[in-house]
Structure 1
């Protein structure tokens, strides 16, 4: 039987040279060189007041190295960062064998504030100095991530008022019941007392929140948005995997080396409102011929008009560009395939009533015939429904009252006399319209090429952040703190690019 040398596993005491653990070309080597020689941490030092009195504090450079190295390894929890500083030799080498408490690391990240934006700008300047920013195309995209907020605590002020009144009534009912009831066993009395205390505490918290927030939260368009009692700056937003309570992380990526040139986090799910802030934030970086690309979520008349007025070349497709692109001609075949996370097959229609598709509408003659074969008369030929022109029809009283299909046509046949139906007319686009001009640009061969280049530029970046860095949620609360955490993750991505392209080998 062959013999082999012994393989040691588990605990073993070894002399370790921390400097030799930082191999040139690795992320940790680039991180340490960047923090020690390139970044200005004077604003972090200004926050300390222990020159004469007080205990020595951990160097902010050490804390920054620990946090960024942890983010690069997919570690977000401050408790796991503390454990890594005790057990992982690479964290020991980066931190100089420092072992900060997890509360120190959590406070460092959560109180960073605007300093995260300044760090991001400094690293971006280093990337530009290394020649990693080409300024030919900036690709914009975003991701919706849950935050450290409870989705169940969302609602308007009217909803919270009703909840407070309901809790107060329940507490009053329990008090009255206890006064009128006979003697209960001791354990039941304690159980009722705890339940009453919970009701009263919840009611007081609701009243206090309503007093601190006298108005509903308003959106960009002035529409009332749902507030959240856990994190009122977060938003309830729909994603492909369901509704979440969180923030939208937006990033603008340069095409040359996939450097993130701008990173922002916003408490809204409307991507159309986020195009302008990103364009303005990257104004100092773009050149005269810099092109912007984005996905269909950023397509809007106001955004395209703003870009056109500023003379900024952009390629932003609309929602229907895939139906017009022959490269996606076979995508309908994949809709019937089951998906483990999202069933993309068409859902069966819940209602059994006749829909407008069951009516025969002649757009040329402007006539409509119901499923029973009766002609409807028009009662509105110049209507606007959600900004789109439509034409309305209504059934005649003599036909609808005697129809045998009223149960299939009307929701409440005993109350409603006749059926009404509306049909949208095709949109008429002018040649000088910004939407029509963008549509023509996207449908051109160059437009399809720019869409492919956008995919290849920005999607791998979000794949790195979401999969490799395991960024599946924000752990902080408040727009400023979440924005800082998002910038730190994007900053980690940029440092990886510096290490990959051979900076400071």
Structure 2
């Protein structure tokens, strides 16, 4: 597909231009949404460069092990062991091919960096390094986030892109810029967003950076945060009428876990005492996607490993028994007085009567 991408883009633009000439595009409201799709790549071939280096070392050890066994049996070869040696030779060839694959990737690529608030390495994939490991409602996949932009009038798709990122936050700006550039190229509009076109997107696209971008570009957008329904009186009886969301999914056991409210949190000194009386380690203070500052704490491994309340406190108590595991983690909102931000601006727009009416067209 990549070798014919220019031809596909040209054909797509021709079809879009015909739709415009036939009056099928309203240019009144564009709705943006994403869908996670698996790629033709195994997630087992994913990892950070450190993890892939460990995989390379493991493959070398396995090859040496099989070759050693082969040489030890070579002098006392019997017909009964011939089939076993043939299978071992095939195994060595397969391991050697995998080793070359990992070695070639590490020598010709650089670590892949994420685009979150903390600039840290994310997992690469040897088979398809443009794809990403992402969580979906059906489990973890190696794939892409397909983001489509649809015109309201006749449900015409005006843009479709695939992003190798699980989070949709980073895709809003490139999608909007691509649509604007395409409409300018086709002569439909010099600046489509300055003509009053409304943009709607779901909560997956909501963060402070995107709200700031919409405000500064003066784009008429409506992107709600993940709590917008809890502020709407129309939805206050929704759980009683329709039941809780995902109510048929298996119980995760979280309801029996000691909640964070049982921990003694001191926001002044940034300390936290667990129900067993142990002091948790302060990890960091970060701002969440709603602009709220949160303090993060984590129990030390030795504390949680020997704690009598471990099975009531941790969702996965066995994690404390592993040297690379983690103790109980909790976070608390810091109630600091802050200036209004761009997320507050968007909340006001979405919660207004006009905002609810516009967003309902999604």
TM-score normalised according to structure 2 size:
0.76
- Match in the other structure for 2:134: 237
- Match in the other structure for 2:50: 158
- Alignment of structure 1 residues 173-212 onto 2, 5 Å: 173-181=65-73, 182-185=76-79, 186-212=82-108
Of residues 21, 29, 44, the one that matches 1:129 is: 21
- CA–CA separation in structure 1 for the residues paired with 2:107 and 2:222: 46
After TM superposition, the structure 1 stretch with the greater mean CA deviation from structure 2, 120-129 or 161-170, is 161-170
* Cα gap change, 1:450 to 1:172, in 2 (>3 Å): same
Gaps of at least 5 residues in structure 1 are: 1-108, 394-400, 413-418, 455-505
What SS does structure 2 have at the residue aligned with 1:112?
A: helix
Query: Where do 4+ consecutive residues of structure 1 move more than 6 Å?
Result: 360-364, 366-370, 376-380, 409-412
Aligned residues of 1:378 and 1:392 also touching (Cα < 8 A): no
Deviations 1:135-168 (CA, angstroms, capped at 9, x unpaired): 1111111111111111211112222221121111
Q: State whether structure 2 residue 356 is matched by structure 1 residue 452.
A: no
Of residues 217, 229, 233, the one that matches 2:112 is: 217
Q: State whether structure 2 residue 203 is matched by structure 1 residue 296.
A: yes
- CA–CA separation in structure 1 for the residues paired with 2:200 and 2:172: 10
RMSD: 3.6
Of residues 404, 408, 412, the one that matches 2:309 is: 408
Which structure has more strand as a fraction of its residues? Answer: 2
Of residues 330, 333, 345, the one that matches 1:424 is: 333
- Match in the other structure for 1:309: 216
Aligned residues of 2:273 and 2:280 also touching (Cα < 8 A): no
- Structure ranking higher on relative contact order (CA contacts 8 Å, 6+ apart): 1
Deviation for aligned residue 1:317: 0.2
* Cα gap change, 1:313 to 1:384, in 2 (>3 Å): same
- Alignment of structure 1 residues 248-327 onto 2, 5 Å: 248-283=145-180, 284=184, 285=189, 286=192, 287-327=194-234
- Match in the other structure for 1:484: none
Q: State whether structure 2 residue 14 is matched by structure 1 residue 119.
A: no
Deviation for aligned residue 1:391: 6.8
Aligned residues of 2:286 and 2:295 also touching (Cα < 8 A): no
* Cα gap change, 1:378 to 1:218, in 2 (>3 Å): closer
Deviations 1:72-110 (CA, angstroms, capped at 9, x unpaired): xxxxxxxxxxxxxxxxxxxxxxxxxxxxxxxxxxxxx56
Deviations 1:5-27 (CA, angstroms, capped at 9, x unpaired): xxxxxxxxxxxxxxxxxxxxxxx
Deviations 1:349-397 (CA, angstroms, capped at 9, x unpaired): 3986x44222477999x9999758x8x99999xx72456445799xxxx
Aligned residues of 1:430 and 1:436 also touching (Cα < 8 A): no
Q: State whether structure 2 residue 32 is matched by structure 1 residue 140.
A: yes
Deviation for aligned residue 1:217: 1.4
What SS does structure 1 have at the residue aligned with 2:25?
A: coil
